[in-house]
Amino acid sequence: MKFLGNIIWLVFGGIFVSLGYFLASIPLIITIIGIPFGLQTVKLGVLALWPFGRKVVESGSAGGCLSIIMNIIWLVFGGLEICLSHLVLGIIFCITIICIPFGKQHFKLAGLALTPFGKLIY
C-alpha cells in the first residue's frame, strides 16, 4: 500500500513539490551561510518525493542551542509560510474522504517544515 500511495503521490503533484524544494536548495547551498538551510530544504524535498511509510523523528542531539537558534531563523525567513502552505493543502485534501492519506502526508511535511533542524527522516 505504501508503494501505491507513493506512486499516486508522485503522479499527482509530489514530484513538483519535491522539485520545488530541490530547486530552492540550490541557491542556498551555493552560499556558505545558507548551506545548513539548503540541507534542510533537501531534507524536505526527499520527504516530499516519497512520503508514505516514512517517519519524522527527533534526533538524539536535538536539544542543542544551535538547533533552536537555526529553527527560529528558519521560521522567520520562510519556514512559517512553507508550513502554512502544507497545512492548507492538508486541510483541502482531508475534505474528501478518499484523499485523507494525502492530507496526512501534507501534515507530516508541515511539521517538518515548521522546525526541520534536529529532526531525522526514517
pTM for the model stands at: 0.91
The predicted model gives 64-76 an average pLDDT of 90
At 77, list the grid cell: 525567513
* Total Cβ atoms within 10 A of residue 75: 16
At 67, list the grid cell: 538547533
pLDDT of residue 67: 87
Please say if the pLDDT value at position 12 is more than 80: yes
Tally of structural domains, the chain: 1
* Longest pairwise C-alpha distance within the chain: 45
Please say if the pLDDT value at position 10 is more than 80: yes
Residue 79 burial (10 A CB sphere; 0-12, 13-18, 19+)? buried
Q: What is the DSSP letter of 57?
A: E
Domain extent for 20: 2-121
The predicted model gives 58-62 an average pLDDT of 73
Taking the alpha carbons at both ends of the chain, their separation in whole angstroms is: 17
Task: Identify the band that residue 64 occupies on the pLDDT scale cut at 50, 70 and 90.
Answer: confident
